[in-house]
């Protein structure tokens, strides 16, 4: 009789209002995907360790990520997964160049972006030739050339 006594109280955890429906994290999951799988209590426990302003900012940023178009989010997730597989020093380099890219004047960003994308399509010998060309040197500043060089080498597709 005692052994047959049901163990009361085991229940599934409900989703918090405003969260995405609880689903299994996709194979290419990142820290945010795993964060979304945590219970609301666990998430709040983690955020409670931070200053309130920073915790609030993280909540808002996660919400914006979660509200992205699913296809856009998946593409970004896959890109991040490739990025996260880079060796640590290469990740640091890519981060630095992406930050520098972000600081470029608005009108220069699409131009530099296009150059990076075109460089990535080139076979290595041609890419090197392009990087060493006078035309490339004339069209881009030294900082922009470095951004193009490193991002075309290491930034994942």
Which parts of this chain interact with other proteins (CB under 8 A)? 2-3, 5, 7-13, 22, 24-25, 30-32, 34-35, 37-39, 42, 46-51, 53-55, 58, 61-62, 64-65, 75-76, 79-80, 83-84, 88, 91-92, 95-96, 98-99, 101-102, 106, 109-110, 112-114, 117, 151, 155
Least gap, CB of 125 to other proteins (angstroms):
25
Least gap, CB of 88 to other proteins (angstroms):
5
For residue 36, count CB atoms less than 10 angstroms from its CB and return exposed for 0-12, middle for 13-18, buried for 19 or more: middle
102 or 134: CB nearest other proteins? 102
4 or 125: CB nearest other proteins? 4
18 or 49: CB nearest other proteins? 49
Q: Please give the DSSP secondary-structure letter assigned to residue 19.
A: S
Distance CA 59, CA 18 (A): 12
42 or 126: CB nearest other proteins? 42
Distance CA 135, CA 122 (A): 16
Q: Please give the DSSP secondary-structure letter assigned to residue 16.
A: P
Least gap, CB of 134 to other proteins (angstroms):
25
| CA-wise closest residue to 23 among 40, 42, 15, 58 | 15
How many C-beta atoms lie closer than 10 Å to residue 112's C-beta?
21
Least gap, CB of 123 to other proteins (angstroms):
22
84 or 133: CB nearest other proteins? 84
First to last CA, the chain: 62
Name the 3-class secondary structure at 43. Answer: helix
């Amino acid at each position: 009789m005692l052994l047959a006594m049901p163990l009361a109280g085991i229940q599934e955890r409900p989703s918090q209002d405003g969260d995405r429906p609880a689903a299994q994290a996709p194979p290419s999951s990142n820290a945010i995907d795993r964060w979304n799988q945590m219970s609301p209590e666990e998430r709040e426990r983690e955020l409670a360790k931070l200053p309130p302003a920073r915790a609030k900012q993280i909540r808002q940023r996660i919400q914006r990520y979660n509200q992205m178009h699913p296809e856009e989010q998946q593409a970004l997730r896959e890109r991040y997964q490739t990025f996260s597989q880079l060796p640590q020093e290469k990740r640091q380099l890519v981060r630095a160049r992406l930050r520098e890219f972000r600081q470029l004047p608005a009108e220069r960003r699409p131009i530099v972006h296009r150059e990076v994308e075109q460089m990535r399509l080139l076979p290595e010998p041609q890419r090197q030739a392009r990087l060493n060309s006078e035309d490339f040197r004339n069209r881009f500043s030294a900082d922009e050339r470095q951004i193009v060089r490193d991002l075309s080498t290491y930034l994942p597709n």
